[in-house]
């Protein structure tokens, strides 16, 4: 069995970012991945402007006591006709064009106005409160690097440079299957030997929060020929196939054998708990991720392995695709020496000294109810005993942007 860390490294190194690029409106670009470097089309600021509401002075020395106010400039006004002389001032507002001859801008809080004359209640300095042309970006300089996930803040940077359409990496198409003759849908009556299909609903809802195209493949029966046919067909219409169940060693577990018959199995079985039967492979260019059937195992392997892989495939750099962890103090003791890396379900909260993690009851991989209480996974390395107050890595459930 392969350790989680090694498996994650090998998995991500085998993922290739797609190169297809499409244009989307800046109004609909959030959470997509930028496909190309974008460069400043203009100096930013494009002109010298005021950093605050106040007065532009045409001269300043500590011996001067009064300035005549000759005009008023607001943001958007054309102030090219104004040329300040010594002893003159202009009322100016944040973002307004700096008039010619300005030596400094003084904030309105230190100004005393009487009739058309200005005096200062405090001294100031030359060249204050003026945003200089090009001090943030020069035309042609790198604005935003490709591979970044487009946040509202990044989009504001891009649109501030006049971009209305943004080049993004074309989203992936992902098909999700559950497997097993025992599965029924939530609207069907529950009978002995049957269980409701929870995994597919979890995975589809998780993925639908992303910008990718998500397809519900339904439930695959425990039949080799039908499973093989479904995987082959799915690989021809999607970039990614995600299955849950059917990857163990039972006679009715047909996903692995079906994949081997039409594609290539890259690895199978991890030294983690829960999630040991996780596997992945390929059918041509299509990646196939095979999750365990137990619901908690399915969640753990999807969050800790599949999401990072999808991020890399979707265009994000590997270093930004790794699961993000935080350190929390354990509020529990773990005395069992486990040979596999374990991901416990925990409830994490902020205390006066930082994050703390409570270990929840019912840690079995089929015990789904704990997911209604937990908000994170706690990673326990193999052969590690945990004492109360020990620092442990925790991964918040990433109902996550993918």
Q: Which residues pair with 219 in a beta bridge?
A: 178
pLDDT at 251: 60
Could you tell me which CATH class the domain 4-19+170-320 is placed in?
alpha beta
Given the structure tokens 């496909």, which residue do they identify?
35
Pairing assessment for the beta strands 326-330 and 354-359 based on DSSP bridges: parallel
Break the chain into its structural domains and give their ranges.
Answer: 4-19+170-320, 21-39+145-169, 49-131, 326-396
CA 376 to chain centre: 17
The closest alpha carbon to 100, from 76, 120, 122, 71, belongs to: 71
pLDDT at 376: 96
Could you tell me which CATH class the domain 49-131 is placed in?
mainly beta
Rounded CA-CA distance 328/163 in Å is 42
Token representation of residue 347: 């409830």
CA 117 to chain centre: 54
The closest alpha carbon to 118, from 68, 64, 173, 43, belongs to: 68
Helix (H) or strand (E) holding 214: strand 213-220
CATH architecture for segment(s) 21-39+145-169: Alpha-Beta Complex (3.90)
| pTM of full prediction above 0.75 | yes
Q: Where are the alpha helices (H) located in 114-216, listed in sequence order?
A: 152-159, 199-207
Query: Residue 137 in contact with residue 19, Cβ under 8 Å?
Result: no
Distant-in-sequence, close-in-space partners of 350: CB < 8 Å, separation ≥ 6: 356
Q: What are phi and psi of 272, to 5 degrees?
A: -130, 160
Rounded CA-CA distance 273/277 in Å is 10
Three-state SS for 75? Answer: coil
pLDDT at 365: 83
The closest alpha carbon to 56, from 37, 31, 84, belongs to: 84
Token representation of residue 197: 């299909």
Token representation of residue 318: 């590997």
pLDDT at 249: 60
Helix (H) or strand (E) holding 89: strand 88-92
pLDDT at 254: 85
Rounded CA-CA distance 240/48 in Å is 51
Three-state SS for 7? Answer: helix
Distant-in-sequence, close-in-space partners of 115: CB < 8 Å, separation ≥ 6: none
Query: Residue 340 in contact with residue 312, Cβ under 8 Å?
Result: no
Residues in the chain where the model's pLDDT stays below 50: none
Fold of the domain spanning 326-396: Beta-clip (2.40.340)
Rounded CA-CA distance 151/316 in Å is 13
Query: Residue 148 in contact with residue 154, Cβ under 8 Å?
Result: yes
Burial of 221 (0-12, 13-18, 19+ CB in 10 A): middle
Three-state SS for 319? Answer: helix
Q: What are phi and psi of 9, to 5 degrees?
A: -60, -45
Q: Which residues pair with 67 in a beta bridge?
A: 118
């Amino acid at each position: 069995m392969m350790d989680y860390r090694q498996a994650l490294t090998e998995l991500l190194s085998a993922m290739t970012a797609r190169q297809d690029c499409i244009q989307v409106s800046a109004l609909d670009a959030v959470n997509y991945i930028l496909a190309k470097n974008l460069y400043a089309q203009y100096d930013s600021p494009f002109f010298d402007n005021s950093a605050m509401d106040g007065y532009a002075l045409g001269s300043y020395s500590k011996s001067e006591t009064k300035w005549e106010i000759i005009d008023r400039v607001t943001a958007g006004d054309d102030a090219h006709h104004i040329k300040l002389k010594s002893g003159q001032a202009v009322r100016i507002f944040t973002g307004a064009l700096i008039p010619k001859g300005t030596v400094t801008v003084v904030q309105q809080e230190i100004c005393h106005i009487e009739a058309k004359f200005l005096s200062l209640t405090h001294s100031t300095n030359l060249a204050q409160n003026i945003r200089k042309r090009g001090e943030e970006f020069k035309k042609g300089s790198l604005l935003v690097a490709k591979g970044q996930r487009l946040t509202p803040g990044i989009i504001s940077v891009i649109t501030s440079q006049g971009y209305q359409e943004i080049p993004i990496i074309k989203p992936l198409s992902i098909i999700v299957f559950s497997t097993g003759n025992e599965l029924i849908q939530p609207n069907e009556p529950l009978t002995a030997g049957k269980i409701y299909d929870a995994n597919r609903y979890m995975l589809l809802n998780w993925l639908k929060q992303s910008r990718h195209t998500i397809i519900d493949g339904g439930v695959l029966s425990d039949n080799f020929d039908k499973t093989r046919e479904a995987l082959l067909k799915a690989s021809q219409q999607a970039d990614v196939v995600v299955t849950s169940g059917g990857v163990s060693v039972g006679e009715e577990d047909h996903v692995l054998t079906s994949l081997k018959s039409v594609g290539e199995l890259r690895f199978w079985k991890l030294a983690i708990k829960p999630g040991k039967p996780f596997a992945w492979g390929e059918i041509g260019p299509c990646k196939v991720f095979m999750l365990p059937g137990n619901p908690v195992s399915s969640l753990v392997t999807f969050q800790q392995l599949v999401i990072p892989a999808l991020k890399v495939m979707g265009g994000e750099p590997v270093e930004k695709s790794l699961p993000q962890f935080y350190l929390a103090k354990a509020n529990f003791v773990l005395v069992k020496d486990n040979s596999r890396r374990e991901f416990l379900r925990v409830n994490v909260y902020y205390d006066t000294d930082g994050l703390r993690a409570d270990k929840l009851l019912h840690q079995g991989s089929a015990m789904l109810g704990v997911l209604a209480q937990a908000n994170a996974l706690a990673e326990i390395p193999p052969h590690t005993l945990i004492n109360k107050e020990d620092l442990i890595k925790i991964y918040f459930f990433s109902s996550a942007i993918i």
